[in-house]
Amino acid sequence: MIPFDYARPSTAKAAIDAVVRDKSARFIAGGSNLVDLMKRGVMTPEKIIDINALPLRGIARTGKTIRIRALTLNSAVAADPVITERLPLLAQALKAGASPQIRNMATVGGNLMQRTRCPYFYDTALPCNKRAPGSGCSALNGYNRMHAIIGFSESCIAVNPSDMNVALAALDATVIVQGPKGERHIPIADFHRLPGNTPQLDTNLQRDELITAVEIPDAPGFATTSLYTKVRDRASYAFALVSVAAALHIENGSIRDARLAMGGIAHKPWRLRRTEDYIRRQQPSIRLFNNAALADLKEARGHGHNNFKLVLAPNTIAQTLRTLAGLA
């Protein structure tokens, strides 16, 4: 690791001021992603701003929303009674991610910001537009088994590796951020970016903005019928090949409402709105789900090693819906 300076401010304002003053400064929370990237020379901040002294921990139910502050640990969110009762989908997704040790370090803010696991992004000896803009994409014609089948560009075919983000996308979360000019609320759908010509930018968060919380609508109709399915190379402790976060509100044998999002297929968590529309106000059936599963994947395209995802993705959507409706 290159040497760097360290600061531990005790207010959000001081933390934001510190990154405004110093263009090479970066926030650090759990460090489970940033320290790894710094060791390998992929990210090289010259100053790190430790935000752990900020009062940004805890979960609160306020009227129609559940607010999770940015420094709350992934393990704490997954075990919190409010979350396991009212947002079990989020608890499931978090428990499917990383390992118990890492979940004890990882924070909600850091998880939102975690970077892709594309092996070429990590390998500073090889071209990568995300790490070194303009150098080329080694994955496009390289080993791209883990990569995107939709929501990619010729500049970058990487996927967002987070499980939590997929659940947040399905649950219509809002990311609350604070910057030098005050607070702003970013809907989760607008938080992460498509790669386009600027794959170096993963999110729409500005460099001097601090994530302070995530807010999720408290929609009890979805609570009892939700499921996170993660397909991976080993039973645990592996990133998703594909994953599906699904919540159905079934009433009198009909699907009143649905929320679906997918991970492992795109540069950002991929909301499946066409599939939701397809099954809304319908009676659950295997046929309905098999057809619905293709609705959002019409433009999907493989890059060679990841062609199997073209089959795995719709199958995982259909299977998740079948299980939720008791048709498995």
Partner 1 sequence: MTPDHIEESGCQHASRRRFLKQSAAAAAIALAPGAVVKAAEKGLDETAAGYFEKAKLQITVNGTSHELSVEPRVTLLDLLRETLHLTGTKKGCDWGQCGACTVHIDGQRALSCLSLAVMQQGKQITTIEGLSTGETLHPMQEAFIRHDGFQCGYCTPGQIMSAVACVREGHAGSATEIREYMSGNICRCGAYPNIVDAIMDVKKTGGTL
Ligand X SMILES: Cc1cc2nc3c(=O)[nH]c(=O)nc-3n(C[C@H](O)[C@H](O)[C@H](O)COP(=O)(O)OP(=O)(O)OC[C@H]3O[C@@H](n4cnc5c(N)ncnc54)[C@H](O)[C@@H]3O)c2cc1C
Where along the sequence are the contacts to ligand SF4 (CB under 6 A)? 116, 118, 120-121, 128-130, 137-139, 156-158, 199
DSSP character string of 94-131:
HHTSS-HHHHTT-BHHHHHHPPP--HHHH-TTS-BTTT
8 binds partner 1 (CB under 8 A): yes
Smallest distance from partner 1 to CB 103, Å: 9
Which partner from the list ligand X, ligand SF4, partner 1, none does 288 bind, CB cut-off 5 to 8 Å by kind? none
E strand spans, the chain: 5-7, 25-28, 47-50, 59-62, 65-69, 174-179, 182-187, 210-217, 226-231, 242-251, 254-263, 270-271
Residue nearer to ligand SF4 on the CB measure, 99 or 197: 197
Smallest distance from ligand SF4 to CB 132, Å: 9
Residue nearer to ligand SF4 on the CB measure, 72 or 114: 114
Q: Which amino acid is at 88?
A: P
Here the tokens at position 302 are 């493989």
Smallest distance from partner 1 to CB 26, Å: 12
Give the Cβ contact number of residue 110 at 10 Å. Answer: 24
Binding stretches for ligand X (CB under 6 A):
26-34, 36, 51, 70, 97-98, 102, 105-107, 109-111, 113-114, 161-164, 210-211, 239
Separation of alpha carbons 31 and 44, rounded Å: 14
Residue nearer to ligand X on the CB measure, 45 or 314: 45
Is residue 128 within 8 A of residue 207, CB to CB? The reply is no
Residue nearer to partner 1 on the CB measure, 97 or 195: 97
Among 64, 125, 235, 253, binds partner 1 (CB under 8 A): 235
Separation of alpha carbons 125 and 129, rounded Å: 13
Q: Which amino acid is at 16?
A: I
40 binds partner 1 (CB under 8 A): yes
E strand spans, 194-269: 210-217, 226-231, 242-251, 254-263
- Where on the chain is the footprint of partner 1 (CB under 8 A)? 1-10, 14, 18, 21-22, 24-25, 28, 31-32, 35-36, 38-40, 46-48, 50, 52-53, 75, 98-102, 104-105, 235-237
